Structure 1
Amino acid sequence: MQTQAVIEHIVHWLKDYATKAHAKGFVIGISGGIDSAVVSILAAKTGLNTMLIELPIRQHPDQVNRAQTHMQQLAERFDNVSNLRVDLTPTFNQFVNDNPVDATEFANLDLALANARSRLRMVTLYYYGQLHGLLVTGTGNKIEDFGVGFFTKYGDGGVDLSPIADLTKTQVYQLAKALGVDDSIQTAVPTDGLWDEERTDESQMGATYPELEWAMSVHADHNAADFTGRQQEVFQIYDRLHRAMQHKINPIPVCVIPENLHQ
């Protein structure tokens, strides 16, 4: 990959899109992870207003520290960057208290709460985006957005534009190195930060990003029987997740009423 050329291409694309949309710039949720770090630097390089918002919800200290370090560094590097911290923990706790559920009755309660966190962050980003005339900028990469659906529908998947959605996780790391992302972020184990206990992306998906990138590259032309051992296992993981994610990326189904019923 021609890293510098890709960086310049994305920066130009971001600036051109915002200009045509008559937006003043971008608002980005900062998690302390590699994707949001890369996207925020790319947005800052456009010279347009770039608002970074940390949105902790019962967040682990290491994630908070990485997010705050990155935001401070970026504000020092770019005059067009502003930082904001919106602690959503009290709001989330109130939501949980107002909607009591028996955990023994619903096996998927933890997942529902994790997705609620993501959707609460989306609402907050759009609130500040509309206040300041900024575009909510997505941080999903190609594997997450189009491979395995590792995002929340109408949560972190609810954005105005996606600058790195055509890049694999490996390529995002290449950009991070070239952009000077803090080492603590580059070496951190990827996690979505949506759980009370820290769950890594790999533990949730069952495979590493490089493994999933391989599966994505061969998925269209092969089936699980073409492989053995770990490759077959990873292929099956990818295939299962890819099938399950289609409702996240396909258009919302519309019930078309037959013409004769309109009469």
Structure 2
Amino acid sequence: MQTEKVVDYIVNWLKDYAIKAGVNGFVIGVSGGIDSAVTSTLCAKTGLKVLCIEMPIHQAASHVSRANEHINQLSTRFSNVEKTRTDLTPVFEAFKGEVNLEGEKAIVDMALANTRARLRMTTLYYYAGLYKLLVAGTGNKVEDFGVGFYTKYGDGGVDLSPIADLLKSEVYKLGEFLEVPESIMKAAPSDGLFGDSRSDEDQIGASYPELEWAMQMDESGKTATDFSGRELEVFKIYKRYNSSNKHKMNPIPVCDIPSSLM
């Protein structure tokens, strides 16, 4: 990958899209992870207004410190970057107080995790409307089109996706080039939706390098019969997520009414 040229291409794409849309710039939720760090830096390089928002909900201290480190670094490097913090913990707790929390704990916990992501999406669009900005997505190719590792209408609810054609390994290459803080470059990827330090690999059961391999194998037409051992295990994990999360990755089904009934 020609990293510098890819960076320039994305920055120009972002700027051109924003200008044609008649907006002032971008708003991004900064989590302390590599994807949001790279996305926000790419947006900053456009020279347009960039609003970085930290939105903690019972967040792990390490996530908060990395997010703040990146936001402070970015606002120092780029005069067009602004920052704000919206503590959504009270909103989340108020929501929990109004809904039914009975049922299997794992299912309730997952529903609440997705609620965190949707509260953040609502916050981003509030500020987007307030300042005439576009919500920049932070999903990479493996998450968005491989395993569907995101929340529908949560972190999946965005206006444009600048890094969704890049594998996680390629996002890291951009991060190094863009001088993303070392603490973020070395941190284990995590969605931060459970208020603890569990990583994406803990949840999925495979690392991003393994998922990238499985995605490439699947796209080349390989099947489970082609593998054994850990490769077979990883391939099955990938296929399971890819299949079960199609509802996120495919367009919303529309019931087309036959003309004979109209």
Q: Shorter-chain TM-score: which interval?
A: over 0.9
Shift of 1:255: 1.6
Alpha-carbon separation, structure 1, partners of 2:195 and 2:83: 25
Question: Contact 2:27/2:124 (CA < 8 Å) preserved in 1?
Answer: yes
Aligned residues: CA RMSD: 1.0
2:161 counterpart residue number: 162
For residues 53 and 147 of structure 2, what CA distance do their matches in structure 1 show? Answer: 26
In the other structure, the counterpart of 2:180 is: 181
Residue 120 (structure 1) shift: 0.4
Q: Equivalents in 1 of 2:179, 2:251: separation in Å?
A: 37
1:11 matched residue in structure 2:
11
1:76-95 C-alpha deviation (Å, 9 max, x unpaired): 10000000000000000000
TM normalised by structure 1 equals: 0.97
Pairwise CA distance, 1:195: 0.2
- Conserved? CA contact 2:26–2:134, under 8 Å: yes
Distance in structure 2 (CA, Å) of the matches to 1:109 and 1:102? 8
CA shift digits 1:121-159 (9 cap, x unpaired): 000000000100100000000000000000000000000
Q: Which residue of 2 aligns with 1:255?
A: 255
Q: Structure 2-normalised TM-score?
A: 0.98
Q: Count the aligned residue pairs.
A: 261
Task: Give me the whole-angstrom Cα distance separating, in 2, the residues matched to 1:142 and 1:251.
Answer: 17
The one-letter amino acid paired with 2:5 is A
Q: Distance in 2 between matches of 1:143 and 1:256?
A: 31
- Show the counterpart of 1:23: 23
Alignment partner, residue 101 of structure 1: 101
Counterparts of 2:106 and 2:79, CA distance in 1: 48
Query: Which stretch has the larger CA shift, 2-11 or 244-253?
Result: 244-253
Give per-residue Cα distances to partners, 1:169-212, cap 9 Å, x unaligned.
00000110111000000001111000033221001111000000
| Alignment-mate amino acid for residue 171 of structure 2 | V
Indicate the SS of the match to 1:98: coil
Q: Find the aligned partners of 1:201 and 1:146 in 2 and give their Cα distance.
A: 16
Q: Is the 8 A contact 2:59 2:196 kept in 1?
A: no
Identity %: 59
Report the equivalent of 1:113. 112
Write the mapping of 1:186-205 to structure 2, written as runs, cut at 5 A.
186-205=185-204
* DSSP 3-state at the match of 1:101: coil
